[in-house]
Amino acid sequence: MAFNDRVVFNGQSVAVVVNGTVVGSDTSAGPTLLMSAVKTGTLSAQVTVDAETNTITLAARWQISQDEATWHNAVPSNNAANVVLATGTAGADAAVTKAVSAPSAVYGARFARVVIDVGVTNGTAVDSANVGYNYLLDALA
């Protein structure tokens, strides 16, 4: 299999709900990724957020699970805090797209996902997020 045939770009991309029942200091989960097909060291999430509601903050955070039921935060080796990707200003804010690297802890888990943290205030219908995964398929999978 050629190298480019093993590249997955924005795989499993889905819209993540950040309005309705999601309130300030809550999270919305992105798609679950089975880690057995992912080559170690190659995973990132392509995250696009659009924070329109005044003062709302949207951040991305990695989580891991062994059973798809119990999820734990996966943090970088230095335990750094997650950084807000976008803050709403009640104006016509531009969408922000970032590639968020996966911490090394994800490679010891069966499943991984990115969640969107909604902070400060409730999300509304004008706030949005999309999560997809970029990685190289493991040649052994």
* pLDDT at 22 (0 to 100): 62
Q: Give the C-alpha separation, 36 to 110, whole Å.
A: 7
pTM of the model: 0.87
Q: Report the C-alpha gap between 5 and 26 in whole angstroms.
A: 37
Residue 3: band (very low, low, confident or very high) from pLDDT cuts 50, 70, 90: low
Share the mean pLDDT of the chain. 87
Asked if residue 51 lies in contact with residue 126, where contact means CB atoms within 8 angstroms, the answer is no
d(C-alpha 84, C-alpha 93), whole Å: 15
Other Cβ atoms within 10 Å of 124 Cβ, number: 14
Report whether pLDDT(49) > 70: yes
Interatomic CA distance for residues 25 and 27, integer angstroms: 7
Torsion angle in degrees (nearest 10) through CA of 136, 37, 14, 10: 10
Q: Which pLDDT belongs to residue 12?
A: 81
pLDDT value at residue 2: 59
